[in-house]
Amino acid sequence: MGEATAKLLSSSRNLILNGRDEARLAAVGEACASKGADVVLFPFDLEQADKVGGALKTLLKEKKLPVEAFVHFAGMTEVLPISKTKYSVGLKVMNVNYFSATEIISTLLKKNVNGINLRNILLISSIVMLGGKAYQPHYCSSKGAVASLGKALACELAPSVRVNVIAPGAFNTRMVKTIFKENSANLHFEPKALLPPKTVDDIACAARFLLSDDAAYITGQILYVDGGRRFPSL
């Protein structure tokens, strides 16, 4: 989802791209640059959420980069019953899915780092925050936290910064493929959505809209991009 959004935005925006897989990050950066964007790579593992703010601050100051919009697509999950999971696993999921976002946002709002340039925040939750998902307790909880964070920040940062949330349904992403390959015995297929299956490009288009001036009077909203599939089965 993040890759598709970066490529879509690259025809109209310059980008700072984050990822922990440096080879994949470089490939996405090259693809975005070919569409005309100035691209800066920020290789960093968001499991180290307590250190991402400092690393980002250093990058922005060294390269004198103003950041107008922040999109948080980072995500990881675990597939374990609650009786088998561990605190360390939950902490990794929360660091990547939630705390990395709060640390980055806090950094971007500091005047000595980013001035008053930040105008737009877009967070990525999931429809699992509504109906839950068996064997993924930390993932579901983290995505609920992300949605609540979006609403809280919309209240706190208005009118200078707009904050919205996208809650995707099931998409055939790299993470989903890996989960099903490694844990097929513990997973169940979902009921079909009301609309035919789509691709991650639909998430990218929703992100582009919420970041644009066409959405200038929209903040504190959760946009469900799920084909009408609101209530996932357990």
Q: Residue 113 maps to which CATH number?
A: 3.40.50.720
Do the domain assignments include residue 149?
Answer: yes
Can you tell me which residue has the tokens 């995505």? 143
- CA of 114: how far to CAs of 4, 48, 150, 200, 233, in Å? 26, 22, 20, 30, 43
* 230 band by pLDDT with thresholds 50, 70 and 90: low
Angle in degrees, 0-180, between the axes of helices 137-157 and 100-108, rounded to the nearest 10: 20
Do the domain assignments include residue 113?
Answer: yes
Tokens of 52: 């991402």
- Asked if 138 and 89 touch (Cβ cutoff 8 Å), the reply is yes
Domain that holds residue 85: 44-225
**CA end-to-end span of the chain:** 24
> Can you tell me whether residue 199 is helix, strand or coil?
coil
Do the domain assignments include residue 182?
Answer: yes
The string of pLDDT tens digits covering residues 179-219 is 545 555 555 545 467 777 678 899 999 999 999 999 999 99
The string of pLDDT tens digits covering residues 56-76 is 999 999 999 999 999 999 989
Output the pTM of the full model: 0.89
Number of separate domains in the chain:
1
Do the domain assignments include residue 212?
Answer: yes
Do the domain assignments include residue 36?
Answer: no
Catalytic residue among 87, 98, 135, 139: 139
User: Which residue, 31, 6, 8, 4, is CA-closest to 16?
Assistant: 6
Answer yes or no: 217 catalytic: no
